Amino acid sequence: MKNSDPIYTKRLERHLDELKWLYMELYNSQKHFDDLLDHMQQFYDERKSSLKKLDQVREQQPGWYRKNGMLGMMLYVDQFAENLKGVRKKLDYIKKCNVNYLHLMPLLDTVEGRSDGGYAVADFRKVQEKLGTMEDLEKLADQCHKQNISVCLDFVMNHTSEDHRWARKARAGKKEYQDRYFFFDNYSMPAMYEKTVPQVFPTTAPGNFTYLPELQQFVMTSFYPYQWDLNYRNPVVFNEMMYNFLYLVNRGIDVLRIDAVPYIWKQVGTNCRNLPQVHTIVRMMRMIGEIVCPGIVLLGEVVMEPDKVAPYFGTVEKPECHMLYNVTTMATTWHTVATGDVRLLKRQMEIIRDLPSDYTFLNYLRCHDDIGWGLDYPLLESWGMLQVPHKKYLNDYFTGRWQDSVSRGELYNEDIITGDARFCGTTASMCGVEKAGFEQDEEGIDKAVQLDVMLHAYMLFLSGIPMLYSGDEIGQVNDYSYKNDPNKAADSRYIHRGKFQWMLVDNIDKPETVQGKLFKRLSRLETIRAKEPVFDASAGFWTLETWDDAVLGLARENEEGKLIGLFNFSQEPRTAWIDEKDGQYEDLMTGETMYASGVQLAGHGFCWLKAKK
C-alpha cells in the first residue's frame, strides 16, 4: 500500500532505510515490518488535520518545546479536579500558574488496588471510567491547544497490568499471548536472572518474578507482581505497542513520557537495564514519530546513574529522546539542602554545561516518585562522605530525625538487608513548612518559604524546561491520609500525592499566609524567565566560583544579555565573592542597581542579576 501524500512520503523516505535496518537487525521479519509500515500509514491518514498542521509548524521550528516561556506542571487528574472535564474547567488556574505544558499523570484503564498509581495499564485505548472517556481527553487536549498549552501523557511500555487482555489470555494458557511476556515453567531461568538483576521495589515487591499457581509457571514482574514485563524480543509486542503509542498521540498528546524505558530489554546474565537494544527501540520510536506525527516530543524517564542518562538523547545524527529528566541534578539539589555544601552541585552543573546544548533536560524539585540518592559517591568519598552513612544522614535529615532539620517525610522501600532507603515528601514539607505550620512558628514559616522560593529560583535558572509538581505552588504539605487506604498504605509515595487543596488557593492574595508569601514570588520568577531571552535553552551556561562552599554561582549568556544567579544554601547570611568586571547589574527581583561583586545574600537568599547594557 503506497501513500500518495507527498508530505508523508518525504518523511518516510528520509527514515526508511535506517528504520528497516534496525528493525531487521532486531526482528528479521519482513512480514512484521510491512505490517508496521501499513499501520503507520493508517495512523497518519487518521490524524486530525489540526494536528497535521501543528506537525508542520513544529517541523519548521524544531526547538518549539525549548523556548524560555515553557513551564510545566504535573498533576493527578482526580486529585486536582476529579475528572478530565474538571481539569478543562480549571485551565484558568493552570494559566494563572504560568503553566503551558501540562503533564496528566497516568489516566488509562487500570484496576483499583493493583494500579501502581495508574502505571499498570489494563487497556491503552481506554480512559479510567472515574476520570472520563477518550473523547474527554481529546476535548481537553483541544482546549489546551487553543490556550497554547501542550499536553503530556505517560506511555507505560515496559509492562502491562495482569488485567490487560493479553495477560488474561496468557493466564488462560494461550501460548501466543504467553510469548508476549516472560513465562517460565520452573524457577531455573528466573534464578539465573535473579543473580544479576537488582530489585526495583525491594520491600513492597521483592523479587523480579511472580509465581502463578493456577499455571504452575513463573512470569517476570520487575515492578509489582501485577505488572507483567512485556517481551520486546517478540515483534508483535513492539508493533502493537507502537500502534498504542500512535493511537494516543493521535488523541492530541504533544509529549509522550516513556515510562521506565531503560528496563524494556531483558538479557540473562545482565542487570537488564540500559541494554543496547533499548536504544535501538527508542531510536525506532523516534523515527516512527518523525514520520507519522513529527510535532510530538519523546520524554524519557531514565532514573539512572548519570553516565547512563545522556546516551538516551542519542547522537545529533541519530537522536532518540527529545527530553530527559534531570534526575541527578534533582537528587544532588536535596543533598545540597541537607549539607549546605554546594561543591557536588557545582560539579553536576559543570557536567551539564559540557553536554551539547541541544540536549534538553526537564528540571524539577519534586515529582510523584520517591527521591533515590543517586549521587556521585566516588567524588563525595574523596571529601570524606561515605556512601552508606551519607545516605543514612540524608534520610535522617529529611525524615526530621536529625536534630537541626526542619524537614518532614517518610522513607521509601527501605532495604532491610542493605540498609538502603529512598525518601518521600513534598517540597514544602522538606523545606520546613509542615513543621513550622504545625508549631505555629511564624518565623519558621518565613524561613521555610524562603528556602522553598530559593530552590525554585535556582531550578528556574537552569537550562532546560522547569516542571512544577502540582501543589508546590501553594506550599502543599505531606498528606498522611494514604495510610487509611489499604490500597495505598504500603506505598509511602502517596504521601506526596494528596488531594489538591483548593481552599489554599483562596489564600494567594493574603500576604500573611504561606500561599500569599509563596505563590506571587514564584509567579514573578516565572514571568521574568518567560520574558528574558537569556533563558533560552541555547544560551551559554556556566558556573561561577563564589569562594564560599554554601553559595552556588551560575551564569547564562547569549547575544540578548547576561544573567548571574547566586543561591545561598546556608541558613546564615553569606557573601558570594564574585567580581564580574563588566559594569552594573540589575537585581531582577528588587529592581536595585548594583555591581556583581562581593554580593551579600540572606540565609537561603538568592538573586538574579542582569547585566545592564
**Which residues contribute to the site for ligand GLC (CB under 6 A)?**
116-117, 119, 156, 223, 259-260, 301, 368-369
Q: Which is nearer to ligand GLC, 157 or 563 (CB)?
A: 157
In sequence order, the 6+-apart residues with CB closer than 8 A to the CB of 73 are 94, 97, 99, 101, 102, 103, 467, 468, 469, 470, 473
Q: Are 205 and 225 in contact (CB under 8 A)?
A: yes
How many helical (H) and strand (E) elements, i.e. helices and strands, does the chain have? 22, 23
Q: What is the DSSP string of 402-454?
A: STT-----EEES--TTT---EEE--HHHHHTHHHHHHTT-HHHHHHHHHHHHH
Q: Which is nearer to ligand GLC, 39 or 257 (CB)?
A: 257
- CA dist 512 and 133 (Å) reads 41
- Which of the residues 78, 116, 301, 320 is marked catalytic? 301
- CA dist 493 and 412 (Å) reads 7
Minimum CB separation of residue 303 from ligand GLC in Å reads 6
- Which of the residues 259, 320, 370, 491 is marked catalytic? 259
Among 3, 35, 7, 90, smallest CA distance to 290 is for 7
Minimum CB separation of residue 448 from ligand GLC in Å reads 27
Q: Which is nearer to ligand GLC, 110 or 476 (CB)?
A: 110
Minimum CB separation of residue 176 from ligand GLC in Å reads 25
Minimum CB separation of residue 472 from ligand GLC in Å reads 17
Q: Are 517 and 454 in contact (CB under 8 A)?
A: no
Minimum CB separation of residue 304 from ligand GLC in Å reads 11
Give Cα separations from 137 to 42, 91, 134, 244 (angstroms): 21, 14, 5, 15
Minimum CB separation of residue 66 from ligand GLC in Å reads 23
- CA dist 397 and 291 (Å) reads 49
In sequence order, the β-bridge partners of residue 153 are: 104, 256
Q: Is 185 a catalytic residue?
A: no
Q: What is the DSSP string of 510-531?
A: -TTSHHHHHHHHHHHHHHHHHH
Q: Is 25 a catalytic residue?
A: no
Q: Which is nearer to ligand GLC, 358 or 369 (CB)?
A: 369
**Assigned C-alpha cell, 560:** 540578548
Q: Which is nearer to ligand GLC, 154 or 420 (CB)?
A: 154
Closest-by-Cβ residue to ligand GLC is 119
Give Cα separations from 13 to 20, 32, 37, 165, 250 (angstroms): 11, 19, 12, 35, 22
- Half-sphere exposure at residue 178, Cβ-oriented, CA atoms within 13 angstroms: 13
Sole residue written with cell 551539564 = 352
531 class by beta-carbon count within 10 Å (0-12 exposed, 13-18 middle, 19+ buried) = exposed
Q: Are 612 and 585 in contact (CB under 8 A)?
A: yes
Minimum CB separation of residue 205 from ligand GLC in Å reads 10
Phi first, then psi, for residue 400 (nearest 5°) are 85, 10
Q: Which is nearer to ligand GLC, 363 or 543 (CB)?
A: 363
Q: Which is nearer to ligand GLC, 161 or 568 (CB)?
A: 161
| Length of the chain as a residue count | 613
Q: Which is nearer to ligand GLC, 223 or 243 (CB)?
A: 223
Question: Catalytic residues, which ones?
Answer: 259, 301
